Chain A
Amino acid sequence: MATTVTTQAPAAGVRRRLGARLAGGELQQFILRRIGQTILVLFCVATITFFLVRLTGDPVQAMLPPTATLDQENALRAQLGLNQPLIIQYLSYLGGILHGDFGQSLFFHQPAFDLILDRLPATIELASGAMVFALIVAIPAGIIAAVKRGSAADSSVVATVLVGQSTPAFFVGIILILVFAVNLHWLPAGGMGGFNHLILPAITLGLYSMAMIARLLRSSLIDQLGEDYIRTARSKGLSRWQVIRDHGLQNAALPVITIIGLEIGSLLGGAILTEQVFSWPGVGRLTVEAITNRDFPLMQAIVLFLSVIFVVANLVVDIAYAFLDPRVRLS
């Protein structure tokens, strides 16, 4: 490896300076600042969610049958603390969060956070499966399409990507079920279980990410391969594949990693349609249930939880990016 380093592109000098900056405690400062921002963002999310969900209607009316009397409705509202002034409800909500109490689901009669934790393993399994599928397909596809630009292979990758990005999950999902579960009997139609149960939902959910990553990798790599330093590297006698691997991909990977990070965040946010079609017991369906039941504490907890995932995913991407690209400053 060391021999290739001597032939490095001009970027190497800039990278050296990054090492110096990071050593100067800039990273710690950056992370601290970002944690401060994160807390502010989460506070805003908690506040906005609290008031927004209360615009969706009355959960007590959603819980009771229409034959309930007004007295019964008022009694239940009082028991749930929903008859208190809004500001008192808000303060007790914030106080609860500080103590790690995200409230009790009105509908399921369980702590809201426990319900999310219950569903989280399913969501992580599905998101991981989808991402693994997306990467396994997208990376080779993107590279081949870029390197063999204009070829039949490129066109078929581009066409697949287009289909992958524009076909809704409920359609892909049901087609996969009809083919692989109903007709071929190879895989189960739904539910969570062993690895077999994961395959179809992971493909369905991962299709979009796959398409996005493949497309981005292709265009990013095409850009890099047209750069001067690639020509320089080639002129120094490196093989075509060495140039692509050690130079082109290095630089083309940067925007792709950003997207992968953000995609992981959004996959973990739950995949409502995929979970619905494959009867997958994840966070996405819990979100729908919370909204349809007007389950305020559960809605609040889910939104806050998803915000944490997104903020953390962003933070990780930013840090990774700064590590990998010296042109990005940690400020």
Chain B
Amino acid sequence: MKSWSTNRARLARVAGAATAMLVVGSVLAACSGSSSDSSSGGSDTLTVSIASDVVSLDPQLQGDLTSMSVADNIFDTLTVRGSDNSLQPGLATKWAQINPLTWQFTIRDGVTFTNGEPLDANAVAFSINRLLDPATKSPIVELVNVKDAVVVDDHTVNFEMKAPDPVIPAKVSLFGGVVLPPKLFQQEGAAAFAADPVGSGPYEFVSRKQADEIVLKANPDYWGTKPAVQNLVFKVMPDPASALAALQSGEVDIVTGITKDAANQLGTNPDTTVESTPGIRTYSINLDTITSGPLANADVRNALNYAVDVPTIISTVMAGAAEQTPTLIPSSVYGFDSSVKPFSFDPAKAKQLLASAGYPNGFSTTLTASNADSALAQALAGQLSQVGVNAQVNVVDAQTAKSDIIALNKRLDGGMYLVANSGWTLDSVSFLQSIVKSDRRSSRWNNPQADQLVVAGETDTDDTARVQAFSQLQSLLKDQAPFVYLFDINNTYAMKSNVKWTMPVTGILSMSSATFG
């Protein structure tokens, strides 16, 4: 008798305790978890959705566009891109290559970090040297040719180079050019600084909830054009459909990181607009020209380029949000030669070239692609099959695709793989460096003339000579066709109709130019 009632009591207690725990837990969590309700509303708060969280708020421990986008609002860089994509003074008012192995930067007078610390030559040298120190474990690789940053005087810094690099001013327009406050950084240490970063940019850091939101407020003492919107919130929304729903329900003002296709969800809603502006992510098919076989033959490679109907693929698979590229370099990039025209779609000519190269019935190969690009790969394989080229599509996950591309075994990815390159320096070298010159990691083409032209483009201190080298290289790339050239994709984003903002060609979310109205 006793045991049964004890047992009943136990059952009741266990059940009761469990329920109480759940209820209390959910209520407590709901209360404690609530931060300032930062949903957009007033015209003084701009909420921007980003598809992934920032890797770190330490601007030198990140290497992706999203992290750089947030950092770009908090920090300043030595140079900046104007709305016409030209390189403009940022923290540096001028720069010059005073000899092949020295770049000299003159630092703007009177700039301070938001903690009051002066931003001078010492801060610049400190930042660059911290980036170069292997112990920093920075994923930023662009300053590979810089040996050391040396303070000349309060407003002058010299970059001492290991090898000449004419692209340095462009390379310090983002990642590598961010300047940190040395005193504060050394006082706090890297971890504390990343938790509460201090810069000199248009916005100041307020708070961050990992994987949820980053809140910034306007820097009232900003040296440049002060931001029109007082509060800036980045909301991490990994699912594009949900992010667009949040735009429709008024919780966010701008949705980034979406495709044109996904944005069609919005329909013809007068409260929202979908923008598709030029970008730099450039797709091509990398061909294995070093293994003997059909792809070693330039006629065959030309045939492949004639066989692909790029405009149709853009209008269908890419929902119109891309621009055909004649070779590897998109039109917004320094060194682009508009006299080199894209291949036309000409299957008859493709068949004829294949026949004269000894492949009248085509041949079989493989086309490897990241799973994110599987629809594109299928469409390309479909078009190639029309001229008898049977490309079997292999879809792999994105990280495997990336690793395979830089693998020491250059044949790992088979005959063809689909790849996208982005060069945020907006200089032609970024689109060529690791895939064209024969000794580079991802190159599968051996052409001594191309190698020479890449070296000229990468090291020549004379701008005219560089541009000429890029022009010749583009003609050679078209002629020899070591790739199948496709397109560069637009930056697609959706906004509330009352927001005015244009995404830069690099895709960086510099929000200080955004206004309501």
Contact = CB atoms under 8 A, between A and B. Distances in A.
B63 A63 contact: yes
B245 A174 contact: yes
Interface in A275-322: 276-279, 281-282, 285-286, 289, 292-294, 320
7 contacts: A67-B430, A109-B58, A122-B33, A125-B29, A190-B245, A282-B211, A323-B10
B376 interface: no
A324 B249 contact: no
Nearest to B399: A62
B33 A125 contact: yes
Interface string B50-67: 001101101001010000
Contacts of A115: 210
Contacts of B4: 5, 8, 12, 15-16
A68 interface: yes
Interface stretch (B105-113, B218-226, B230-238, B483-491): B230-238
Contacts of A125: 25-26, 29-30, 33
Contact of A281 (B52, B236, B245): B236
Interface string B426-457: 00001001100000011000000000000000
Interface stretch (B16-24, B275-283, B495-503): B16-24
A128 B191 contact: no
Given A68-B141, A69-B144, A121-B32, A108 B55 contact: yes
A324 B212 contact: no
A225 B305 CA distance: 74
A57 B402 CA distance: 11
Given A66-B421, A190-B245, 20 more contacts: A5-B1, A16-B3, A65-B63, A66-B434, A68-B406, A109-B58, A110-B56, A110-B194, A122-B211, A132-B19, A173-B242, A177-B242, A177-B249, A182-B245, A189-B251, A190-B239, A190-B242, A253-B11, A281-B210, A323-B10
Closest 10 A-B residue pairs measured CB to CB?
A125-B29, A281-B211, A128-B26, A189-B246, A128-B25, A281-B212, A16-B3, A181-B249, A279-B237, A194-B34
A243 interface: no
Contact of A177 (B39, B245, B442): B245
Interface in B408-429: 421
A61 interface: yes
A279 B238 contact: yes
Interface in A31-86: 57-58, 61-70, 72, 75-76, 78-80
Interface of B: 1-8, 10-11, 14-15, 18-19, 21-23, 25-27, 29-35, 37, 39, 52-53, 55-56, 58, 61, 63, 134-135, 137, 139, 141-142, 144, 190-191, 194, 209-213, 235-239, 241-243, 245-246, 248-251, 398-400, 402-403, 405-406, 421, 430, 433-434, 441-442
Given A125-B25, A174-B241, A294-B399, A182 B248 contact: yes
A268 B292 CA distance: 55
A260 B18 contact: yes
A256 B248 CA distance: 41
Contacts of A170: 239
B209 A281 contact: yes
A235 interface: no
A279 B239 contact: yes
Contacts of A292: 398-399
A250 interface: yes
Given A188-B251, A294-B399, A320-B14, A174 B139 contact: no
